[in-house]
Amino acid sequence: MRLSLRPFVLPAALAAVGALSVLSFAPINAFPLMWLALAALSWSIGQAGSAKRALALGYAWGLGFFCANIYWIYISLHTFGGMPALMAAGCVFLLSMYMALFPALAAWAARRWIGHRVWRMTLGLPALFTLTEWLRGWLFTGFPWANVGNSQVPMTPLVGYLPVVGVYGAGGLLLLSLGALMAMRGWQRWATGLGVWALGGLLMLMQWTYPVGDPVSVSLAQGNIPQDEKWAEAHYLDNLRTYLNLTAQAQGDIVILPETAIPSFMSDTPTWYLERLVKVVQPRTLVTGVPLSGPHAEEYYNSVTVLTNPKLPMYSKRHLVPFGEFVPLPWLFGWMYHYLNMPLSGFTSGAAEQAPFVIGKHTRLAPDVCYEDAFGREIIKALPDATLLVNVSNLAWFDGSWAAWQQTQMSQARAIETGRYMLRATNTGVTAIIDERGHVLSQLPQNSRGVLEGKAQNFAGTTPYVVWGDWMTLSLSGLLLLCAWLFGRKQ
């Protein structure tokens, strides 16, 4: 009895196409490859003979997609976390298997409930895919890395939709336009497919927010401290000295140091050091990342503080990284603590609502820490009060990967969604100034030590996304599903 490989050819091809999509994200930015990946997924679901087959095809595509897009987690687990190589690779593969369930669910539901008729599939599949992407970014605290809409930032007309429906909506509209161009005929093809892009281009011309006051001068420090030295006691004073020297070099009215630039609890940091930091920057403003201990044992926060104005409330990171800053379901995953050599891996979440830092007459600075800028719905909680966004990060955990570039692309999406400048102060890169339209105005080279000097404009006003968040995208997805159902009844 011979085993036929024919049933596995298409799933293997879809996995390869899904993996190839990693090149559509930063730093390669070959965004048409995302069109190819989604077109292949859409076509295969339409050709699937059953919902079970569609589920398998969607899963194969998702497995290739996520293995390629989150490979950098291996670096933090093995290189810096101390986990054995095979175990670290296995953990990344298991996470990819979990995340692949979401496109698989969209594929199964499309074939099971929508069918293969042209109009129904064209409307229904983008809606289902968008809903499952949103679910992936919400369920079990969410992991929204590699949202397909991010791949189009900031180059294609689809970014015009970000201030309206956010990155989830932009991804759904991309799939809608591709489905229309592939499946429809005549005027329907062009009206639906190209119409989506033309409207996005017109929306790019909209100015949703407006500048307030004169631009402020900013200095963003990048210490380039290797991860294996950052928390080592032998390098503690050298690390403090690095950011003291960079702060002394800074010329901006607002000086920003990255996540945990001070590698000790504020209460344990030498008083002389904090006083020197304040002295070299006064009368200007110094913002820095620093861990804070709470009032109870084993309670500590990944925080950002205005060191030159202790009267301002501190910001504490709200959305913690699973397995990096906390271990979900300790009864199931607690064994990982045995292998992970990660300091402060049991952080406490900050409050859901935290006010921006009030700096001067016009600046209302809203910080977020590292992974938080992957969540558009959380960034908008500081708006419309905030006039300027700041992300502080330490991506040395993933040194040598594309993770820093991908996160910068997400910061660009947050800037477009909110109509605000985004300032990125990082330990190893990418330290950058991003304007309200998502353009990187200036940046420091990765893995270098220095201070990025530049200007940042405060902005006021709101975008539709700030007002409605993801609810508009969820509602439009529901409307598309309703239309698909009505077309089915008519036919």
Handedness of CA 355, 356, 360, 363 (dihedral sign): negative
Residue 316 pairs in a beta bridge with 303
Rounded to the nearest 5°, which phi and psi values hold at 289? -85, 140
Rounded CA-CA distance 13/7 in Å is 11
DSSP string, 294-330: -SSTT-EEEEEEETT-TTSPPEE--SPPBTTTB-SSH
Residue 322 pairs in a beta bridge with 326
Cβ atoms of residues 306 and 366 within 8 Å: no
Question: What 3-state DSSP class applies to 422?
Answer: strand
Active-site positions read 259, 317, 370
Q: Which of 41, 78, 84 is nearest to 63 (CA)?
A: 41
Strand 315-316 relative to strand 357-359: parallel, antiparallel, unpaired?
A: unpaired
Identify the H or E element spanning 72: none
- Residue 18 CA, chain-centre distance (Å), reads 19
Question: What 3-state DSSP class applies to 373?
Answer: helix
Rounded CA-CA distance 416/86 in Å is 40
CA-based Rg of the chain, rounded to a whole angstrom?
23
CA distances from 208 to 58, 145, 183, 347 (A): 37, 26, 35, 37
Strand ranges across the sheet with 315-316: 315-316, 300-306, 285-293, 254-256, 210-222, 450-460
Strand ranges across the sheet with 388-393: 357-359, 363-369, 388-393, 422-426, 432-434, 440-443
In the numeric block, which tokens belong to residue 366?
């809203």
Question: What 3-state DSSP class applies to 399?
Answer: coil
Strand 388-393 relative to strand 422-426: parallel, antiparallel, unpaired?
A: parallel
Rounded CA-CA distance 294/287 in Å is 20
- First-to-last alpha carbon distance for the chain, in angstroms, is 44
